[in-house]
Chains A and B, each alone.
Chain A
Amino acid sequence: MTRFACITVFSMVLLVPCLNALGELRFPPPEFESGYRFPEGAPLPAARPVLYEYADAVLLVVALLLASYLILKRRSRRAIFVLMIAALFYFGFWREGCICPIGAIQNVTLTAFDSTYAIPLAAAAFFVIPLVFTLFCGRVFCGAVCPLGAIQDAVLIHPVAVPRWLESGLRLLAYTYLAAAVLFAALGSAFLICRYDPFIGFFRLTGNWNILILGASLLVIGLFVGRPYCRFLCPYGVILRHLSRLSKRRVTITPNECIQCRLCEDACPFGAIREPTEDWPEGEYKIAKKRLVLFLVLLPVLVAAGGWGGYALKERLARMHPRVRTAERVYLEETGQVTGTTNASDAFRTTGQASDTLYQDATDIRNQFALGGALLGAFVGFVAGGKLVALSVRRRRTEYEADPAGCFACGRCYQSCPKEHERLKKIKEAVAGR
């Protein structure tokens, strides 16, 4: 066929697109005379059976039971490490990191805010089970089951101490991340935690380059700073921190009396060992009291400032929502501020909706983000202020102990404690003597 003929046919075709809108096909399906039948291709492959998801939840419970036993009863770093690596291979490399409790925060949030969303049982189980275990046994999930923790723990070769003030400051990132993830999931804009999961690319051995680079950087930092994601970013870790403070049982370093040798302090790569404290020295006590009062006054100021800051960010936050982005683009196009269209604005126009509906939706979403942003900012302000207050209160401790919130239950401190070695020796002798 000549090019001219082709162009002619194309122009004829151009005249009929309106037919589709009427629910008719542009070209009626042919009536074959040669007895042609539609080919039957292979059936479309079915989805992964839901039974597998339940099996994962059961395995999670088994892993957590085993972790609790190894961490609290058996007190063996080697056994904990083996379980951790096994969990890394199963939940990480085999199940490819999805679904994980960290991401499940968003599924639970979306369930609470979106009545049309049906949460998979596996996601709910992955969210709740580690929480319950933390209430009973401390952060055993972090120590031996979480694949994200495991991959970082496995690469830690030369831990350096992070100053306490820096650690507390950087941890604010995790609180902000948690609040932002909840906000965006609640308003149906994005699953931030999944989008920026740094290690999923390694688990799948493929992925977006930016995220792979982020993950690789965290692992390189993780060679020297123990578990940087867990300590400074993990939003689920924030929840576990606070539950772990209340836990019934948790890691106790020494099996009997502490001899204050400080060996555990050196063994902990996460700065989670708290040293014994004494009362404030007489001179400092007054200054400390004044500082505490100042911070208590500062707390509402920080909350208000954070709330205002979050409110001011509403436009930017709202832009995370695809509907708002489309509305902004369509507005620019319709007012002639830009030429040309994008895929999103084309897609909107094919729906045949009025632009005003779109603008109204965008306004509603912006208003939601105004409230949400203010709450997010106030929360971050509250956490920052609360941290300042907490840092200026001195708790009394008589021996070296693991910080219930910051301890990942990795078990490194057990083998560093001379008293523990004494205990093990006694057990060995008793077994040999019998």
Chain B
Amino acid sequence: MPSNNEDMTRRKLLREGLWGACLVGAGTAAGLSVARNNQDNMVWQIDPYKCIGCGNCATYCVLEHSAVKCVQAYAICGYCDLCTGYLVPEPKALDTGAENELCPTGAIKRTYVEDPYYEYTIDETLCNGCGKCVKGCLAFGNGSLFLQVRHDRCKNCNECSIAAACPSQAYKRVPADQPYLLKKVDLKE
């Protein structure tokens, strides 16, 4: 039987070894992370080509007033008089009457440009990111209205709770220096 003294040494050796192994483990985790890192922070963004305008963005955000808001891509917009992103189905009249508007907060402004075109702009302070206009525009229009995470509002949660609830998995992490995924004109001419 080993003497008490030796036993203590053995225990100490084991301890030191484990300690060193843990330090190396932590170092490896750090090293692996640095090797994988792309120098930039990652932020959440919606891929507008995957988004279906389900409405979860307005309700699942941890903020009371969602970080998601609508963006209008003017180059894609058809400037329709009968805009399915602006007007409820079967509107009483094609005008700015509240009973005709699809947007629950009245955040879309309709302005006459020239016959027969109307311009639609988003009032960001009113937009709550519900995506009703996005859905309408996707269904019957050019899809020029789309949702984006606003980075002045977004808390950049480690797990975005809207992303977890997104039915089309449209949320992804993008580099912070290019934090928007905008719709582009995709005409093949």
Contacts and interface: CB of A to CB of B under 8 A. Distances in A.
Interface of A: 1, 3, 6-7, 9-10, 13-14, 17, 20, 22-30, 32-34, 36, 38-39, 41, 44-48, 50, 53, 96, 98-99, 103-104, 106-108, 111-112, 117-125, 127-128, 131-132, 135, 190-191, 194-195, 200-201, 204, 206-208, 243, 246, 248, 322-323, 326, 342-344, 346-348, 350-351
A14 B180 CA distance: 31
A26 B186 CA distance: 12
Contacts of B169: 322-323, 347
B143 to A, nearest CB: 7
A121 B82 contact: no
23 contacts: A6-B90, A23-B186, A24-B187, A24-B188, A25-B142, A26-B142, A29-B79, A29-B142, A30-B117, A44-B150, A47-B179, A53-B41, A99-B158, A106-B159, A119-B36, A120-B40, A124-B33, A194-B159, A206-B63, A246-B18, A343-B167, A347-B52, A348-B168
Interface of chain B, helix or strand or loop or mixed? Answer: loop
Contacts of B140: 10, 13-14, 17, 26
Contact of A204 (B36, B62, B142, B179): B62
Nearest to B83: A27
B90 A7 contact: yes
A195 B89 CA distance: 37
Contact of B114 (A29, A36, A38, A322): A36
Contact of B29 (A124, A208, A326): A124
B43 to A, nearest CB: 5
A125 B15 CA distance: 26
B81 to A, nearest CB: 9
A10 B26 CA distance: 62
Given A27-B80, A195-B164, A128 B29 contact: yes
Contact of A190 (B36, B94, B156, B159): B159
A23 B187 contact: yes
Given A27-B78, A322-B169, A128 B159 contact: no
B159 A191 contact: yes
Interface residues of B, number: 77
B46 to A, nearest CB: 13
B163 to A, nearest CB: 10
